[in-house]
Amino acid sequence: MRRRILTLALALCLVLGLAPGALAADSGTARAVFEGSAPDANGCFTMDLRIYDATFNAFQFILWYDPATVVPVDASGKETDDFSAFATERDNGWMATIGTSIDTEKHLIDFTGYVTPGKSVAVDAEPKTGVAIVGEGGLDLFSFRFKKVGEQPVVLKLAVKDSGTPWKEVLPTGGAVVESGIAAPVTVEFKYTDGSGSSGTVDVPQPGEPEPTADELLKAGIFLEIGGHAAVVEGGVTAIYPGEPNVTAYAHDNRTFVPVRFVAERLGAEVGWENDTQTAVITKGGHTIRMKVGELTYTLDGVEKKLDVPAEFTPSVNNEFRTMVPVRFVTEALGYQVEWDQARNLAVVIDPEYGWDPAGDVEAKTMDEAVRLLNMYGSFV
């Protein structure tokens, strides 16, 4: 499974409907600049956050500060964990915030802002409802209060996973600017014009595509044990055909066969049978597949396709038969990924969007759980 990480900001956009589908997001890489002023006689200074060159609905940043060099303070210069006392919004009413916090134990500062529904803000551009549009002139978002501690330069940076400092699972990249519901490329810059801090620029990694959990894969796939009359579907064990123990997935001539009706119906297709022509008719999503048993061809919406081995019958009960198809048919005609794991004697059918990796650790855990379930409950269905 390969899916975008949903940061808190992105989730907000989706929940609140803030992400129109046709925004112009062609301004290139957004820039978020944290710019610190010179410390006063008490070491207190402000750090302003501005965003440049972006069309966005929301943003989120998580910062880590080194308490040996700097601490968040209120207007009086006293160290604080109250975000509202530490930060001043510079939004003129267009912005709403959520999830703002200061963790003085882990030294994390977390804040998310988004365009309030019905509001807009634009710099040198035509405004669009629910959208912030800004170019080279920049848009002020926050002014933060800090106090420099000690003689070393201020250390304030993105809370990025694997950076050696604390970070949050919700945003392992440390920052995101969301355009049209998608986290856009963003460069984050820390500037201290008087040399009081550690200046630098960070290109925020694009959101990754996290590994699925074994539970997610187990519920998403169909798992058939070769020679077994049961299968795991939606995370539970079911009979392939109740009362028909002879109908199993099987292999011969280096080919794996699966029961077409059972698999197709669980993938959301409808299956019909034309007895006079010995043809299975499968319909799904406006497409029609016709496959005659014993032939090396089938048609998809009238276009002829080829198989390396034909569909065939397997005996059932009461002198009845079930139609079995090679797994290549499931892959090519129905559009699903099929994998065969010889060590576990297991066939896996899954939507290709999950990016099943036959050698993956999570996939191995998933297959082990499927085998465990089949061994435990297969004889009861």
CATH number at residue 52: 2.60.40.680
Position 3 in a domain: no
pLDDT in the model for residue 205: 67
Residues 14 and 35 in one domain: yes
Other CB atoms within 10 Å distance of the CB of residue 310 = 16
Give the residues across from 98 on adjacent strands: 112
Residues 35 and 179 in one domain: yes
pLDDT in the model for residue 5: 36
Position 209 in a domain: no
Contact residues for 340 (Cβ-Cβ < 8 A; gap 6+): 251, 256, 327, 346, 347, 348
- Alpha-carbon gap, residue 245 to 377, rounded angstroms: 14
Q: What angle do CA 11, 14, 19 make, to 5 degrees?
A: 120
- Alpha-carbon gap, residue 179 to 54, rounded angstroms: 8
**Pick from 170, 159, 27, 18: nearest CA to 95:** 18
pLDDT in the model for residue 320: 84
pLDDT in the model for residue 55: 92
Per-residue pLDDT of 201-213, as tens digits, reads 888 866 555 678 9
Per-residue pLDDT of 11-36, as tens digits, reads 444 434 443 333 333 446 899 999 99
Residues 177 and 227 in one domain: no
How many CA within 13 A on the CB side of residue 83? 17
Examine the fold and report which residue of 204, 236, 251 is the final residue of a domain before the chain moves on: 204
Weakly modelled stretches of the chain, pLDDT under 70: 1-28, 180-181, 205-210
Residues 183 and 258 in one domain: no
Per-residue pLDDT of 81-136, as tens digits, reads 999 999 999 988 899 998 899 999 999 999 999 998 889 999 888 888 889 999 99
Residues 128 and 274 in one domain: no
* pTM exceeds 0.75 for this model: no
Task: Report in angstroms the alpha-carbon separations of 305 from 76, 164, 282, 349.
Answer: 76, 54, 14, 21
Domain count for the chain: 2
CATH number at residue 228: 3.30.457.10
- Alpha-carbon gap, residue 93 to 214, rounded angstroms: 45
Which domain does 246 fall in, by range?
Answer: 214-380
